[in-house]
């Protein structure tokens, strides 16, 4: 197996999908704009600083879906895809994914955003394999606000990729070549695990480390 792993937010798409979905729910009138945006900005600042409490954030981020129910939320997410996501997809990012697929690589998106938000975005890239935050559900199949299993965040991304490999009877040693594209310092554990780390649209801290270590730096959105 040759494995091509991609972060999603600010890597394949030029924004944070969880943040943008939250702001979209404000536009729909599901959330109070001022209080929600203030909290959303605070969580995003924590993420960039590497101090995010992922469990607390997921409870916050999924609250509107819990209140409205999955059926209504999925209908709204279809609008979000049409109005926000699809017009923002870049040919450079789409072409990079397709190049790996054409080369026969197994392409997997590995994101710290939950599956509800990201599954349709992965589909838009033509990627079936998605490792995302799994949401716990109640007896009706509705999300509870808690995370099911290991969150695919920081060190958890490594653990979740290992689980994904194990489910296919593989381990890292069985991967002929692995490459991971990411913009964020939060992804250092997985960047350091793969054969070929690529700092993609990197934040300032990741860019400095990539330059120091001689990692490839790729800017898809310039």
C-alpha torsion sign, points 57, 59, 60, 66 = positive
Task: Tell me if residue 9 is catalytic.
Answer: yes
- The CA distance from 117 to 110, in Å, is 13
Question: For the chain, where are the alpha helices, taking DSSP H only?
Answer: 17-27, 33-49, 54-61, 63-68, 70-80, 91-102, 115-124, 155-166, 188-191, 204-213
**What 3-state class would DSSP assign to 136?**
strand
Task: Tell me if residue 18 is catalytic.
Answer: no
Catalytic residue numbers read: 7, 9
């Amino acid at each position: 197996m040759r494995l091509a792993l991609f972060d999603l937010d600010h890597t394949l798409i030029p924004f944070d999908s969880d943040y943008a979905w939250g702001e979209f729910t404000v536009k729909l009138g599901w959330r109070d704009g001022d209080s929600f945006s203030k909290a959303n900005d605070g969580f995003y600042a924590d993420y960039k600083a590497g101090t995010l409490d992922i469990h607390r954030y997921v409870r916050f981020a999924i609250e509107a879906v819990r209140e409205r129910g999955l059926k209504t939320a999925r209908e709204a997410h279809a609008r979000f895809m049409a109005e926000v996501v699809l017009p923002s997809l870049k040919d450079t990012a789409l072409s990079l994914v397709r190049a790996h697929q054409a080369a026969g690589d197994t392409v997997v998106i590995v994101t710290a955003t939950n599956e509800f938000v990201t599954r349709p975005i992965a589909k838009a890239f033509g990627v079936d394999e998605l490792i995302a935050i799994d949401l716990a559900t109640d007896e009706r199949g509705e999300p509870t606000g808690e995370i099911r299993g290991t969150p695919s965040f920081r060190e958890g991304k490594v653990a979740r990729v290992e689980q994904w490999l194990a489910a296919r009877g593989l381990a890292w040693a069985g991967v002929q070549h692995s490459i991971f594209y990411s913009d964020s310092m939060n992804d250092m554990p997985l960047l350091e695990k793969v054969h070929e780390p690529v700092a993609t649209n990197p934040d300032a801290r990741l860019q400095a480390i990539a330059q120091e270590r001689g990692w490839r730096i790729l800017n898809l959105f310039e």
